[in-house]
Amino acid sequence: MRSTDFSLAPPQGRARAMVVVERSFDTATDARRARGARRDLATHFADSPGFLWQKNYGRSPRALGIASYFSTRDALDHALVTAPARLEPWLRLGGTHPTGRVLEAEPSGYTNGVWRAEDGRMGHIEHFTPTSVEAGRGTEPPRVDAASTERPAGQGPSKPRPSKRESRPIADAHAMFVGATKYTGPSALIALARIYYPMIARMVTMRGYVWFTTYYEFPFTLGTLAFFERRDDLLAFARMPGHRHLMQWITKDTRNGTAGYIRLHGDPEATAPLDASADATGSGS
219-228 pLDDT, tens digit each: 999 999 999 9
pLDDT at 93 (0 to 100): 95
**Range 99-114 average pLDDT:** 96
- Same-domain check for residues 60 and 46: yes
- Same-domain check for residues 117 and 130: yes
pLDDT at 284 (0 to 100): 41
Average pLDDT, the chain: 89
pLDDT, tens digit, for every residue of 248-267?
899 989 999 999 999 999 99
- Same-domain check for residues 242 and 172: yes
Is residue 216 in a domain? yes
Is residue 195 in a domain? yes
| pLDDT > 70: percent of the chain | 88
| CATH code of residue 242 | 3.30.70.100
- Same-domain check for residues 98 and 234: no
For helices 231-238 and 241-251, angle between their N-to-C axes, nearest 10 degrees: 60
Q: Which domain holds residue 82?
A: 15-103
pLDDT, tens digit, for every residue of 233-245?
999 999 999 998 9
**Count of CB atoms situated within 10 Å of the CB of 1:** 19
pLDDT, tens digit, for every residue of 184-219?
999 999 999 999 999 999 999 999 999 999 999 999
Q: Measure CA 236 to chain center.
A: 14
- Same-domain check for residues 94 and 150: no
Q: Measure CA 276 to chain center.
A: 16
Asked whether 56 and 38 are in contact (CB, 8 A), the reply is: yes
pLDDT at 112 (0 to 100): 95
How many distinct structural domains can be found in the chain?
A: 2
Between 96 and 159, residue with greater pLDDT? 96
pLDDT at 169 (0 to 100): 95
Between 60 and 91, residue with greater pLDDT? 91
Is residue 244 in a domain? yes
- Same-domain check for residues 175 and 82: no
Of the three residues 84, 103, 122, the one that is the final residue of a domain is 103
Q: Supply angle C-alpha 200, 201, 202, rounded to 5.
A: 90
pLDDT at 153 (0 to 100): 46
pLDDT at 158 (0 to 100): 43
